[in-house]
Amino acid sequence: MVTGGEKLSTPAAFFDLDRTVMSGASTYYFAKAAVKSGFYSRRLLVRGAWKTFWFRRRGASDEQSASARDQVLAAVHGRTRAGLEALLPDVLGPILLNVYPEIYRRILDHERNGVRTYLCSASPIEVVQPVARALGMTGALATMAETDSDGVYTGQLIGPFCYGPGKVTAIEIEAKSSDLDLSASWAYSDSMSDCPMLEAVGHAVAVNPDRALRAVATEREWEILRVEPRHGLRAAVGAGIVTGGAGVGLGTAWLLRRMSKRT
């Protein structure tokens, strides 16, 4: 029995973005938009400004993770946050087109049941937060790069690099500030690199897991969820999407909601 002086902690559900909430990698669409707009040159991209995110599929050592973090920060150093945010109309739509309807339904079910939902990704918060907002999620935990008073990136981080153990750090900070009960919470990911996040909660779900994660999930009897893209959904959204800003998110999320009710 809970007395008047006690607080009930709230459960939450933490979702990795790339290949978990969506098929493919969000950074691909970001890089494509960045080159198209001139935010990055094609040469810079090929030399590795963003390609280091691809190491995530097979995991990485601490040294590789640090290298990825440093390259991400170097990629935005000296550029403006406004310039990065201007890419969103070309980034948000393609990401939402690739959201798995089954995962979106999980997000909706959690929210209906009073479970807070968070999108967790090593990608920049400027990209991850609008995706979370479009999907009706509680919030986003992502990599945050520092800006100066003019909105120019300094090349330093604010908070943890949201990858591997860094995701757990971000989750624990949020849990403390929002009184979340991690033992009653869920985490969803496809990658062994997110094993620390999956271990940090009471209910781990491996989504289309890679070989290493599948072995761990089987051994520990975690839920293994198989999901597939819905090509009909992509065609419907592609035909009816409203171009630009919030319209992309609202229009796509509405169609996702309709499709999730049919599956």
How far, in Å, CA of 182 to CA of 202, rounded? Answer: 6
The SS3 call for residue 22 is strand
Residue 62 near residue 161, CB atoms below 8 Å: no
Beta strand 203-207 with 116-124 is unpaired
Residue with tokens 């949020």: 174
Say if residues 112 and 9 touch (Cβ distance below 8 Å): no
The identity of residue 245, as a single letter, is G
Which residues are designated catalytic? 16, 18
Hey, is 6 helix, strand or coil?
Answer: coil
* Secondary element (H or E) of residue 215: helix 211-220
Residue type, 237: V
- Burial bucket for residue 203 (CB in 10 Å: 0-12, 13-18, 19+): middle
CA distances to 83, 89, 96, 177, 250 from 243, rounded to whole Å, are 18, 7, 13, 36, 11
